[in-house]
Amino acid sequence: MKVAVVILNWNGEALLKRFLPSVINHSEGADIYVVDNASTDGSVAFIKQHYPTIGIVQNDLNGGFAKGYNDGLKSIDADIFCLLNSDVEVTPDWLTPIIKIFNTQQDIAIIQPKILDLKQKDHFEYAGAAGGFIDMLGYPFCRGRIFQALEKDTGQYNDVKEIFWATGACMFIRRNVFESLNGFDEDYFAHQEEVDLCWRAKNAGHKILYVGHSHVFHLGGSTLKNMNPKKTFLNFRNSLYSITKNLPRKKAFPIIFMRLVLDGIAALRFIFQLKFNHCLAILRAHISFYGNFRKMYKKREKANFILKYHTTTSIVWSHFVHQIKNFNILVKD
């Protein structure tokens, strides 16, 4: 089984200098590639000079996360792709438990390791933590991370568990599955395209796992900080895209209406916090979504929709009203 660790890069020379050594030192048996999204810094020259064994795929333009990987992976020969952010520090033997599962369980299509915070290594990191889930209204959250509440890693998620979505910060996926799903939806540009991909994989009957015996450390926020208004725009809009594309019509339409109300409440909350740019970002997200609704509706999966897709009814209600910050408490609740 050929494994390719593929790092998407855009003007990330400083990140490559910092994080490539760990990938090279701890990825025995895997080929390493950098897909460059038309960088204008010295990224490509740096790789060629210092790491000539790393494969380089140069895209013609910066099409974001989705198009960047879709274009770059076409040139890479592997059975398993590991899509790895350029700001991730991997650890010794991180590949072994994951590749073992791919070799022994053919029904597993996508795997995510434990994602810890590079700045606070005993805590989970925002992007992925211990595996992704969504609530009934399509809001994503993770074991180990609910909104901005990050749990301390005490071994509570040192397990192997089926999850709903795997983070794009470190996602392993079978090549044949990626191609059968036509890759990421390029209309997302960035953020939550992995949720959509995993949702489509679930609708197609594939399984997604979290493997806690493998862990990596993620710096996070290298492209957009968690509370950047552009990220707020993309997260709110792209979440609505996923609902439209991946749920039965009878479920999707009522949920979109409820999201209109709840997202409006979120916008008001930003106003009270004097974060006016985030309020505007939510408004722009909905305007963009309704403007592109017909286009998204035409992309709806024709296969059977899965009906059990959510872990809880409303993560918003659980977190902000009941003050639940821990996944295990959420499940019990």
**Tens of pLDDT, residues 278-318:** 999 999 999 999 999 999 999 987 667 876 788 788 898 89
Whether residues 254 and 170 fall in one domain: no
Whether residues 187 and 136 fall in one domain: yes
Q: What is the overall mean pLDDT for the chain? A: 94
Report if residue 329 sits inside a domain: no
What value, to the nearest 5°, has the Cα angle with vertex 331 and ends 329 and 332?
65
Residues 25, 13: Cα–Cα separation, whole Å:
19
N- to C-terminal Cα separation, the chain: 42
Residue 224: pLDDT band by 50, 70, 90 thresholds? Answer: low
Whether residues 179 and 134 fall in one domain: yes
List, for residues 141-188, the tens digit of each pLDDT value.
Answer: 999 999 889 999 999 999 999 999 999 999 999 999 999 999 999 999
Report if residue 317 sits inside a domain: no
Report if residue 313 sits inside a domain: no
Whether residues 212 and 241 fall in one domain: no
Domain boundary among the residues 191, 218, 245 is at: 218
Length of the chain: 333
Report if residue 321 sits inside a domain: no
List, for residues 193-221, the tens digit of each pLDDT value.
Answer: 999 999 999 999 999 999 999 999 999 86
- For the chain, how many structural domains are there in total? 2
List, for residues 56-82, the tens digit of each pLDDT value.
Answer: 999 999 999 999 999 999 999 999 999
Whether residues 138 and 273 fall in one domain: no
Residues 76, 198: Cα–Cα separation, whole Å:
21
Residues 165, 75: Cα–Cα separation, whole Å:
25
Rg (CA), the chain: 19
Whether residues 254 and 211 fall in one domain: no
Whether residues 32 and 160 fall in one domain: yes
Whether residues 212 and 250 fall in one domain: no
Domain carrying residue 92: 3-218
Per-residue pLDDT for 333 more than 70? no
The pair of structure tokens assigned to 80 is: 């398993």
> For position 92, what pLDDT does the model report?
98
Report if residue 48 sits inside a domain: yes
> For position 303, what pLDDT does the model report?
63
If you average pLDDT over residues 12-26, what whole number do you get? 97
Of the candidates 104, 212, 127, the one whose C-alpha atom is nearest the C-alpha of residue 162 is 212
Report if residue 332 sits inside a domain: no
Domain boundary among the residues 218, 252, 277 is at: 218
